[in-house]
């Protein structure tokens, strides 16, 4: 697990976006796992700008989103499909037919989960999986005590997650209690995982993920076992780590090595 500590949220977004830009340069037909929420928005805006400037293209890309609320139509303003269209897909040159979000309103959600797994496999697997992290350590809607080898499935949201997301729903609006989410096992099969976190509210979750035991009470801790995970955080999100200076030193040395290799051609 590589931990990168940067000054602020803007630097986190830029660093993360560079990973996607580099991947598109190497493999234009990449498969991306995408996330919703406030954390990845700045990263998406960077990628939109790069796409509109002609620096990168999503024309051959396929995408698979992590999760979706149950019982919300794709055009519902709080659905994750609507979020992705509004915040990202509608602003880039991606083929809408190649963007996939779990169908929260599927007649048979259990069958839909199996079909989502099949679609990911048929695409060749996910090249980069983008993640955020919840205050309780959840990734996707894999809440504490989730099975660390789980696959895409229906999950009940915890009270904490429901409260965290309540700000997106009006007082008289139905707020879903169930979701469809990629499983932890599904996430772990991505070739590269990029997790972003900003703000002091994520500090304890980051500490548990990086320094704690691999345990179901912190689903993100499973990423300790992933062969290629990059955790990109700002100073506040890193404030719970025992020795953040160590990770900063590692990144400084990594960047120095990369610069030297680039200079050598």
Pairing of strands 229-234, 2-6: parallel
Of the residues 65, 68, 138, 142, only one is catalytic, namely 138
Active site residue 138: yes
Active-site position among 46, 67, 127, 234:
67
Side-chain-side CA neighbours of 2 within 13 Å: the count stands at 18
**3-state percent helix, strand, coil for the chain, nearest multiple of 5:** 45, 15, 40
Phi, psi of 39 (to 5 degrees): -60, -45
Which is the catalytic residue, given 46, 127, 143, 234?
143
Cβ(137)–Cβ(217) under 8 Å?
yes
Catalytic status, residue 67:
yes
**Active-site residue flag, 143:** yes
3-class secondary-structure state, position 235: coil
Strand order in the sheet with 178-181: 67-69, 178-181, 153-156
Cα 143 to Cα 178: distance, rounded to the nearest angstrom: 12
Residue 211 phi/psi, 5-degree rounding, is -105, -20
Distance CA 233, CA 189 (A): 23
Contacts of 89 (CB under 8 A, 6+ apart): 63, 96, 99
CA distance 85 to 91: 8
Round to whole Å and give the CA distance between 84 and 67: 11
Catalytic residue (choose from 46, 136, 189, 234): 136
Which residues are the active-site residues? 67, 136, 138, 143
């Amino acid at each position: 697990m590589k931990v990168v500590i940067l000054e602020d949220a803007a630097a986190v977004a830029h660093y993360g976006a560079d990973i996607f830009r580099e991947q598109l340069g190497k493999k234009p037909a990449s498969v991306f796992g995408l996330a919703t929420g406030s954390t990845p928005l700045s990263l998406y805006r960077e990628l939109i700008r790069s796409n509109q400037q002609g620096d990168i293209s999503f024309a051959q890309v396929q995408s698979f989103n992590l999760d979706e609320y149950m019982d919300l139509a794709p055009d519902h303003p709080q659905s994750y499909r609507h979020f992705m269209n509004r915040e990202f897909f509608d602003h880039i040159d991606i083929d809408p037919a190649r963007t996939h979000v779990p169908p929260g309103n599927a007649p048979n959600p259990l069958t839909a989960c199996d079909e989502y797994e099949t679609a990911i496999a048929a695409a060749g697997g996910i090249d980069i999986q983008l993640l955020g992290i919840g205050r309780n350590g959840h990734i996707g809607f894999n809440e504490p005590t989730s099975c660390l080898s789980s696959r895409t499935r229906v999950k009940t949201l915890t009270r904490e997650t429901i409260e965290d997301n309540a700000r997106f729903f009006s007082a008289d609006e139905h707020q879903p209690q169930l979701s469809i989410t990629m499983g932890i096992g599904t996430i772990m099969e991505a070739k590269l995982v990029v997790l972003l976190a900003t703000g002091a509210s994520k500090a304890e979750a980051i500490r548990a993920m990086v320094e704690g035991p691999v345990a179901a009470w912190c689903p993100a801790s499973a990423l300790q076992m992933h062969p290629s995970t990059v955790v990109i955080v700002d100073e506040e999100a890193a404030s719970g780590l025992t020795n953040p200076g160590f990770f900063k030193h590692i990144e400084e040395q990594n960047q120095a090595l990369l610069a030297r290799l680039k200079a050598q051609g």
